[in-house]
């Protein structure tokens, strides 16, 4: 499951950084598109936020870089008026644009940087720590 891989990688980030990140942190300035029905916007959470380091870490699973039938249903439109795959790209772009404008660094760690079998990361703790160290090297 993707959440298992995300949890594993964020735990590695905590280990490398020596502090626990706030999981699924929401900023008031990072919002999704308004609902056509209610006009309300939902917060777009980030995977992990490290306040003392002014750092946001995003883990990008397979569906962030390629179409995945389970997630991308072209006939089902989101509040953004597009299918989920396009909306995900729009929201990822929004994070990439807005996080730095608020004085925070953004590090994106793609699942493809790890050894993957099927939908899961093959856990190799030392090798995976090195992947994360490399991704976070500017923040150590």
Crossing angle of helices 2-17 and 125-136, in 10° steps, is 70
Q: How confident is the model at residue 76 (pLDDT cuts 50, 70, 90)?
A: low
Alpha carbons within 13 angstroms on the beta-carbon side of residue 1 total 3
Beta pairing, strands 46-50 & 116-117: unpaired
Q: How high is the pLDDT of residue 35? A: 81
Cα–Cα distance, 37 to 122 (Å, whole number):
43
The structure tokens 């996080």 sit at 99
What is the percent of the chain with per-residue pLDDT over 70, rounded to a whole number? Answer: 82
Torsion angle of C-alpha atoms 41, 52, 104, 30, degrees rounded to 10:
0
The model carries a pTM of 0.85
Beta pairing, strands 120-121 & 116-117: antiparallel
Q: How many domains does the chain have?
A: 1
Query: Going by C-beta distance under 8 Å and a sequence separation of 6 or more, which residues neighbour residue 18?
Result: none
Query: Which of 128, 132, 84 lies closest to 108, judged by CA?
Result: 132
Mean pLDDT, rounded, for 30-48: 89
CATH code, domain carrying 25: 3.40.960
Whether pLDDT at 71 is above 80: no
* 80-124 pLDDT tens trace: 455 567 778 888 999 999 999 999 999 999 999 999 998 889 999
Query: Which of 101, 16, 100, 10 lies closest to 55, judged by CA?
Result: 100
Torsion angle of C-alpha atoms 19, 120, 47, 73, degrees rounded to 10:
180
Query: Going by C-beta distance under 8 Å and a sequence separation of 6 or more, which residues neighbour residue 20?
Result: 14
Enclosing domain of residue 131: 2-139
Whether pLDDT at 48 is above 70: yes
């Amino acid at each position: 499951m993707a959440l298992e891989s995300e949890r594993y990688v964020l735990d590695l980030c905590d280990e490398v950084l020596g502090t626990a990140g706030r999981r699924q942190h929401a900023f008031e300035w990072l919002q999704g598109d308004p609902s056509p029905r209610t006009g309300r916007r939902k917060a777009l959470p980030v995977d992990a936020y490290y306040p003392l380091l002014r750092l946001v870490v995003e883990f990008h699973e397979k569906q962030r870089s390629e179409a995945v039938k389970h997630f991308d249903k072209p006939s089902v439109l989101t509040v953004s008026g597009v299918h989920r795959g396009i909306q995900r790209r729009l929201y990822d772009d929004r994070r990439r644009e807005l996080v730095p404008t608020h004085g925070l660094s953004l590090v994106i760690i793609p699942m493809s940087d790890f050894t993957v079998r099927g939908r899961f990361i093959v856990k190799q703790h030392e090798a995976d720590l090195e992947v994360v160290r490399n991704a976070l090297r500017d923040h150590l």
